[in-house]
């Protein structure tokens, strides 16, 4: 273990210890009944540096519902298939509104603002589905996640998927609203079926941090050398994560943490320190914008300790 | 001149040459009559690296109206006086709408989304004005700009200021609207008087790039060693520039250029490569979002040539 | 035939003649494929006065899809069952926006502005459905229409209903969006099934004018003496028709025609001259707000000729 | 005194007695400091029938600030000068939002929805001002009010006008916002000067009911026989009052009262029973939509007692 790895380990350990003690834990997402049962006491963190050294803290190996963190990977998949044509159907500007806002869709003729709000992610999933059966599309997504996480045990939590399918009325509304503008090509219920399952993928911080390594290292996994995307594309996905990755809390995350990141209502956040590390944190309690409360605080502490903000040395 | 400086010089020269030839130049802002007269053929670029080496191209020494680029510096000034209390009056989230939108103000009770849209910048100027005469406040802003640019010839273009004062109805509306919520403390016309003059500051790319150096180097000018702001504050201003610096084109700028930056309708852009350089470009023609058309293209080419994106090595 | 009846007959005949000749006929609704096939040349008008005298012109007996005109009758039905509790789920203010806007729902937590925009009518149908099978609810609506029209041949055009069910994505979005707020109680597809069928009821101008007579005469049919609703309720339904009956063209209709009325995208309009007559017109071509173009013009001519505006003798 | 007059007198007396006792009085407008001082205990009502019989109750002769009720009269004046060209600058649809909303102006390029929201009334006053000095325009408005009220003692409460001029920031915002779209022709402060003074006209219920008689009787005063506007225009002004006269409570007023009416934040309401009577009520306490709380209740009671709703006999 080199000097840097040691510093990272120390920081991760301190943060995990501090987070364990904190009383303010946010509120667990209650609108997906299955997620509402998760214990808010959990906290996990994993940092994987450029040499592949893994620093863990807390519940680093406990799987959680990655939810919207999956949007980073489906965007990567869809860009691989469609290239820049993808941007004809989804914008890449921050929305200035909540993750499930439908107002913007009416004003902008069904084109979602970016691929990381719900509407945009549903549109991206619809593109992945086109020309396939839902089962195939979902299989492709799951295989991609296992490949990136380098772990074939990654799986879908069917109870969570079923819970969302029963209660995800706002997502059904978003999909049908886009369909009325022709932005969704497949039957809305099929697209949503894939979408709800992709959100229900369960991963641990270790798996998630592993999966994100290509974004930290110019599009390829530095250990295997395997290329996932072109370097420019990796940079651009990071840029979209920075401006749009935390819904209407994206500015706040950039301001406090200073790293590209993507959160999910399951309480997970994937953050990328370009050239340095891939980071996953998990704490189920959310803040008012639907982002992990302690997750953000932990990442702020981490970048401060390690001087990893992309906005200054 | 060291190796890096040489590489920068070459890139700057190539870009200036290429920009001179391009036919697509955007459209000069016409809503401020005085700005509408500027020749769209101008193009200037200056890059100042961490050693203070200056690479110039095109109209690098021709002064232009910095307009909204001034917002970066008034934010810096106001943060110096008010600290984080400033954020009680202005948010730091991207707005998802045009630079002069008033809709968000109605929904959010007069609190502007961020200090880089017009409403937010007017609120910041109002804070600088409080406790002072307009003339004093303006003097303070101008002295700060001269200090940062290390050039006492920086001045205000009174014709531009007068032109805005005569025609800036939307800014008058924004200021009075905020005043109805108590967000503006001073008489709106006094605040606007200072605001219109601050926007009418005329600077060259050389002066602007010099003025921005503290943002590239942890809050201090690396040559003089003079500290302007705390390192953390410099990083955070960069973060707000990244997410909010180009109005409703902020996502696009992050995606294509990958640097924090702030544009003005005069056609100038200040961009920061943290740890590496302060950059100013100027080309008066604007794109649909009110940002310099060629300015953005030049910066995209520059970061590509030099590998300066903050989103990947 | 008394003097007034004669005057009405003459006016109706003149209007029918004039409308037949006009070249400007608006545009047939194209977003419901089945409706797009209707010949825009049709025009029908029927006026039934307080003595039951029927004055007809044009295609008075040709059935057309009543679409949103059905909302007046489902509102009447639901008020009969729920009384003023109905207004806890639906407002009664003009929306200031298009018939299928979803923006207002987001700002007002899923409560539709009034029962005559699509969202509001879907909420009303949901109330009628509660405690019943869709088939029963639909049967009740159809029986009510036949009773009011005094004609058992009134039926549902299944091809139109099927066409809407296949393509009504925006209504599916509205229903699910309201369901996410708990405003819709039943499974959204069941509520929508009833709604699409109610809109697909086919009636002639004669049947529609007959059905509307209770609104012109204090809640009861003056011929049969049968009471449909309390006089106050009839007045209030008329008031909601006046302020909300023509979507974002309600002000225009009140200004030009001066009668309570409800339009449908099938080109039908039911208008009420309180104390005087029930009126139905039909012309399939629509104006920009989705209201019958010639229908409105014919009604304007009628109220002018007969001095029937409720806004002045 | 004929039979009807006697019935009206009785109704008015009963209502005045009932209103005097009620504890719920709404809240006096506090955003205009000068109005905030008015005693919420006041209540006045005057009904003038077609024979000119005057029925009074309560503070019928106490002058109050007519505020937005003035908009009915400036609309009448401006229509007299501009005819239907007026509608190129102002719409006539309900706004679906608050009296001072600015959102709609942004979406509809500065054209206010109707002449009875603040923005629309400012635009109408701007038309009256064009070609005149503010003093002349104001003189014309005041003369018109005195002529209609048949009382030369009608005057402007300068303290109220000054109070609004000092604090009417939102109206200043609206005027400047419209000016940025070219909808306001004159310098905004001049237009607003006239507007604030017109709103500060002080009248008693007796004067106001007298002034409104032309709207109840086809455009002319039935006593003097003097014609104010063409019958069709009177009807149309009534129609706009019905759909837009009570801001975002217009639907509610139509539903409950069933008469065209216009309210002001001073607590006054002018209501028109076409062919029957001109009615003025005053009670300073307002409801959530900025309309007189007891005023609306009194009018609802009156139309119920007298069967005057325009929506049914």
Out of A106, A172, A180, name the one closest to residue C176 (CB). Answer: A172
Q: How far is B123 from chain D (nearest CA, A)?
A: 15
What's the N-to-C CA distance of chain C in angstroms? Answer: 24
CA distances, A187 to each of A178, B300, C166, D15 (Å): 11, 39, 10, 60
Please report residues of C whose CB lies closer than 8 A to that of A107: 103
Closest-CA distance of chain A to residue B82, Å = 17
What are the DSSP calls for chain C, one per residue? Answer: --HHHHHHHHHHHHHHHHHHH-S---EE--SSTTGGGS-TT--EEEEEETT--EEEEESTT--EE-GGGHHHHHHHHHHHHHGGGGGGTS--S--SS-TT--HHHHHTTT--S-TTSHHHHHHHHHHHHTTS-HHHHHHHHHHHHHHHHT-TT-EE-HHHHHHHHHH-HHHHHHHHHHHHTT---S-HHHHHHHHHHHHTEEE-HHHHHHHTHHHHTTTB-TTT--B-S-HHHHHHHHHHHHHHTTGGGHHHHHHHT-S-EEE-TTSEEEEEETTTEEEEEE-SEE-TTSSBHHHHHHHHHHHHHHT--TT--
D107–B103 CB contact, under 8 Å: yes
Alpha carbon distance B151, B85 (integer Å): 31
Q: Is D122 helix (H, G, I), strand (E, B) or coil?
A: helix
Q: What number is the average pLDDT over the span C118-123?
A: 97
Give the active site residues of B: 68, 71, 195, 247, 265
| Cβ–Cβ gap C173/A169 under 8 Å | no
Mind listing the pLDDT tens digit for each residue in B156-169? 999 999 999 998 99
CA dist A17 and A43 (Å) reads: 10
Q: Which domain holds residue B272?
A: 3-65+204-306
Which residues from B are below 8 Å from D175, CB to CB?
A: 173
Q: Are residues C99 and C74 both part of a single domain?
A: yes
Chains in contact with B, counting 3 or more C-beta pairs less than 8 Å apart as contact: A, D
Collect all residues of chain B within an 8 Å Cβ-Cβ radius of residue A309.
235, 239
What is the 3-class SS of B46-91, one letter each residue?
EEEECCCCEEEEECCCCCEECHHHHHHHHHHHHHHHHHHHHHHCCC
Active site residues per annotation of D? 68, 71, 195, 247, 265
Asked if B64 contacts B201 with a C-beta cutoff of 8 angstroms, the reply is no
D96-130 pLDDT, tens per residue?
777 667 888 888 889 999 999 999 999 999 999 99
Q: With CA atoms as reference, report the closest residue to D168 among D143, D144, D197, D140.
A: D197
Q: Tell me which chain D residue has its CA closest to the CA of residue B173.
A: D173
What is the C-alpha to C-alpha distance for residues A170 and A151, in angstroms, rounded to an integer?
A: 33
- A111 occurs within a structural domain: yes
The answer to whether the beta carbons of residues B16 and B43 sit under 8 Å apart is: yes
Tallying the residues shown for chain C, one arrives at: 313
Interface of chain A toward chain B, CB-CB under 8 angstroms = 91-97, 104, 113-114, 218-219, 231, 234-236, 238-240, 242-244, 248-252, 254-255, 258, 260, 274-275, 304, 309-313
Instruction: Note whether B194 and B213 are same-domain residues.
Output: no
Position B73 in a domain: yes
> What is the rounded CA–CA span in Å between residue B233 and residue B227?
12
Q: Going by DSSP bridges, is the β-strand pair C277-282/C268-273 parallel, antiparallel, or unpaired?
A: antiparallel
CB spacing of C239 vs D255 below 8 angstroms:
yes
C234 chain-D contacts, CB cut-off 8 A? 311-312
Which of C201, C236, C253 is the last residue in one of the domains?
C201
Residue found under tokens 């992309």: A310
**What is the per-residue pLDDT for A3?**
74
Q: Are B280 and A208 in contact (CB under 8 A)?
A: no
In a shared domain, residues C141 and C260? no
Band of residue C1 on the pLDDT scale cut at 50, 70, 90:
low
D169 assigned to some structural domain: yes
Q: Pick from C107, C173, C188: which is nearest to A177 by CB? A: C173
pLDDT surpassing 90 at residue C52: yes
Quick one: which of C174, C211, C206 has its CA closest to C191?
C174
A46, A179, A195, A204: which one is catalytic? A195
Burial of B292 (0-12, 13-18, 19+ CB in 10 A): buried
Beta pairing, strands C27-28 & B285-286: unpaired
Structure tokens at A134: 């839902």
Task: Report how far residue D273's alpha carbon sits from residue D250's, in angstroms, rounded to the nearest whole number.
Answer: 16
Report which of C276, C277, C269 is spatially closest to residue C296, judged by C-alpha positions.
C269
Question: Which of A12, A65, A68, A281 does the annotation list as catalytic?
Answer: A68
Task: List chain D residues with CB under 8 Å of B172.
Answer: 172-173, 176, 188
Nearest to B243 among A251, A274, A310 (CB): A251
Query: Residue B212 has what DSSP assignment?
Result: T
Contact check, Cβ <8 Å, D251/C92: yes
Same domain? For D29 and D128 the reply is no
- CA C288, C291, C294: angle at the middle one, nearest 5? 100
Mean pLDDT computed over every residue of chain C? 95
Yes or no: say if B251 and A93 are a contact pair by the CB < 8 Å rule. Answer: yes
The Cα of D85 is separated from the nearest Cα of chain B by a number of Å equal to: 25
Q: Å from C113 to nearest chain A CA?
A: 16
Nearest Cα to Cα of residue C272 among C204, C220, C210, C212: C212
- For residue C100, give how far its alpha carbon lies from the nearest alpha carbon of chain A (Å): 10
Q: Which residue from B minimizes the CA distance to D170? A: B177
- For residue A115, the chain B residue with the least C-alpha distance is B251
Which positions in chain D touch C76 (Cβ < 8 Å)? none
Which tens digits make up the pLDDT trace of C133-170? 999 999 999 999 999 999 999 999 999 999 999 989 99
Are A76 and A191 within one domain? yes
Q: Which residues contact B187 (CB under 8 A, 6 or more apart)?
A: none
* Residue A82 host element (H or E): helix A70-82
Ramachandran area for residue A267 (φ above 0: left; ψ -120 to 50: alpha; else beta): left
- Nearest-angstrom CA–CA distance, D313 and D309: 7
Instruction: Give the per-residue pLDDT at B95.
Output: 84
Are D102 and B107 a contacting pair at CB < 8 A? no
Chain D residues bordering chain B (beta-carbon distance below 8 Å): 101-103, 105-107, 169-170, 172-177, 179-180, 188
| Domain assignment of residue B23, yes or no | yes
Query: Contacts of residue A242 in chain B, CB cutoff 8 Å?
Result: 242-243, 254, 311
- Average pLDDT taken over every residue of chain D: 95
Comparing CB atoms, the residue among B94, B312, B313 nearest residue A251 is B94
Report, as ranges of residue numbers, the positions in chain A whose pLDDT lies below 70.
1, 99-100
Q: Measuring CA to CA, which residue among C260, C240, C37, C21 is closest to residue C120?
A: C240
Pair D14, D161 in one domain:
no
Same domain assignment for residues D192 and D217 = no
- In chain C, the residue whose alpha carbon lies closest to the alpha carbon of A32 is C180
Taking CB atoms and an 8 Å cutoff, what residues of chain D touch C219? 312
**What is the pLDDT, as a whole number, of residue B153?**
96
> Per-10-residue mean pLDDT for chain B, 313 residues long?
87 97 92 88 97 97 98 98 96 82 84 95 98 98 97 97 93 96 97 98 98 97 91 97 94 97 97 97 95 97 97 87
Query: Most A CBs within 10 Å: which of C173, C175, C186, C189, as the mutation test of the A interface?
Result: C173
Residue C101 counted as domain residue: yes
- The residues of C annotated as belonging to the active site are 68, 71, 195, 247, 265
Sign of CA dihedral B259, B260, B263, B268: negative
DSSP state for residue A255 in the 8-state scheme:
H
D168: nearest CA partner in chain B:
B180
Report pLDDT for B103.
Answer: 81
- For residue B78, CA distances in Å to B95, B214, D47, D159 come to 21, 16, 60, 38
Residue B311 in domain: no
Angle between helices A169-180 and A188-199 (to 10 degrees): 140
Instruction: Give how many domains chain B has, as a whole number.
Output: 2
Which DSSP letter does residue B290 get?
A: S
How far A166 CA sits from the closest chain C CA (Å)?
A: 10
Final residue of a structural domain among C145, C176, C201: C201
Our CA-based measurement puts residue C254 at a distance from the nearest CA of chain D, in whole angstroms, of: 6
B97 plus B161 within the same structural domain: yes
Tokens at D138, concatenated:
């104001």
Residue C313 lies in a domain: no
Taking the C-alpha atoms of residue B74 and residue B61, their distance in angstroms, rounded to an integer, is 23
Domain boundary among C159, C177, C201: C201
Question: Do both C235 and C299 map to the same domain?
Answer: yes
Residue B49 CB partners (closer than 8 Å, separation 6+): B4, B5, B8, B55, B276, B277
Decide if pLDDT at D188 tops 80.
Answer: yes
b (16+ CB within 10 A) / e for C20-53: eeeeebbebbebbebbeebebebbbbbbbbbeeb
Active-site annotation holds for A71: yes
Contacts within 8 Å (CB) and 24+ apart, B167-171: B167/B31, B167/B32, B167/B33, B168/B32, B168/B192, B168/B196, B169/D176, B169/D177, B169/D179, B169/D180, B169/D188, B170/B100, B170/B102, B170/B118, B170/D176, B170/D177, B170/D180, B171/B100, B171/B118, B171/B122, B171/B195, B171/B196
Structure tokens at D8: 């009206």
Q: Do A172 and C169 touch (CB under 8 A)?
A: no
Report whether C102 contacts C171 (CB < 8 A): no
Residue D312 and residue C238: Cβ atoms within 8 Å?
yes
pLDDT of C86:
97
Residue whose entry in the numeric block shows the structure tokens 């809305």: A188
CATH of the domain at D42: 3.40.710.10
- DSSP secondary structure letter of residue A58: E
SS (H, E, C) D159-211: HHHHHHHHHCHHHHHHHHHHHHCCCCCCCHHHHHHHHHHHHCEEECHHHHHHH
User: Would you list which residues of chain B are within 8 Å, Cβ to Cβ, of chain A?
Assistant: 91-97, 104, 113-114, 218-219, 231-232, 234-236, 238-240, 242-244, 248-252, 254-255, 258, 260, 274-275, 309-313
Q: Are residues D74 and D179 in the same domain?
A: yes
How remote is the C-alpha of C30 from its chain's centroid?
A: 19
Substitution target in A96, A126, A177 with the highest count of C β-carbons within 10 Å is: A177
| Chain C residues touching A169 at Cβ < 8 A | 176-177, 179-180, 188
Q: What was the pLDDT predicted at C99?
A: 64
From chain D, the residues in CB contact with B173 under 8 A are 102, 172-177, 180
The yes-or-no verdict on residue D3 having pLDDT over 70 is yes
CA separation, residue A296 to residues A63, A260, A262 (Å): 19, 12, 11
- Predicted confidence at residue A99, as pLDDT, reads 63
Element (H, E) at B11: helix B3-21
Q: Report the largest interatomic distance among the alpha carbons of chain C, rounded to a whole angstrom.
A: 57
> Can you tell me the distance from the alpha carbon of D276 to that of A167, in angstroms, rounded to the nearest whole number?
55
Nearest CA in chain A to B304: A232
State yes or no: ipTM above 0.90: yes
C175 and C92 within one domain: yes
* Residues C108, C21 share a domain: no
C-alpha distance from C103 to closest chain A C-alpha (Å) = 5
Q: Give D105's contacts in chain B (Cβ within 8 Å).
A: 102
Quote the DSSP letter at residue D23: S
β pairing state of A64-65 and A155-156: unpaired
Nearest to D169 among B101, B106, B176 (CB): B176
Helix (H, G, I), strand (E, B) or coil at A243: helix
Query: How confident is the model at residue B142, as a pLDDT?
Result: 98
Within a domain: residue C156?
A: yes
What is the predicted pLDDT for the residue at B99? 65
């Amino acid at each position: 273990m080199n000097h840097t790895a040691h510093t990272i380990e120390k920081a991760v350990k301190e943060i995990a210890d501090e987070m364990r003690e904190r009383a303010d834990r946010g509120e667990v997402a209650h609108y997906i009944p299955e997620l509402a049962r998760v214990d808010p006491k959990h906290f996990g963190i994993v940092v994987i540096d450029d040499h592949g050294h893994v620093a863990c803290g807390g519940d680093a190996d406990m799987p959680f519902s990655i939810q919207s963190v999956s949007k980073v990977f489906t965007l990567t998949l869809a860009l691989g298939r469609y290239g820049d044509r993808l941007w004809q159907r989804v914008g890449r500007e921050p929305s200035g509104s909540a993750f499930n806002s439908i107002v913007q869709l009416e004003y902008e003729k069904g084109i979602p603002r970016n691929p990381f709000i719900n509407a945009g992610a549903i549109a991206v999933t619809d593109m992945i589905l086109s020309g396939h059966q839902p089962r195939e599309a979902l299989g492709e997504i799951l295989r991609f996640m296992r490949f990136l996480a380098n772990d074939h045990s990654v799986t879908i939590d069917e109870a969570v998927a079923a819970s969302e399918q029963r209660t995800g009325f706002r997502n059904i509304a978003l999909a049908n609203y886009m369909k009325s503008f022709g932005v969704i090509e497949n039957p809305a219920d099929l697209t949503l079926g894939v979408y709800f399952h992709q959100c229900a993928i369960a991963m641990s911080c270790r798996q998630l941090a592993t999966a994100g390594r290509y974004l930290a290292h110019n599009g390829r996994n530095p250990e295997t050398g395997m290329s996932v995307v072109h370097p420019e594309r990796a940079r651009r996905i990071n840029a979209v994560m920075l401006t749009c990755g935390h819904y209407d809390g994206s500015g706040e995350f950039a301001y406090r943490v200073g790293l590209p990141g993507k959160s999910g209502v399951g309480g997970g956040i994937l953050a990328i320190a370009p050239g340095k590390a891939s980071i996953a944190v998990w704490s189920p309690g959310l803040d008012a914008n639907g982002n992990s409360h302690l997750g953000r605080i932990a990442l702020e502490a981490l970048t401060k300790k390690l001087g990893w903000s992309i906005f200054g040395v």
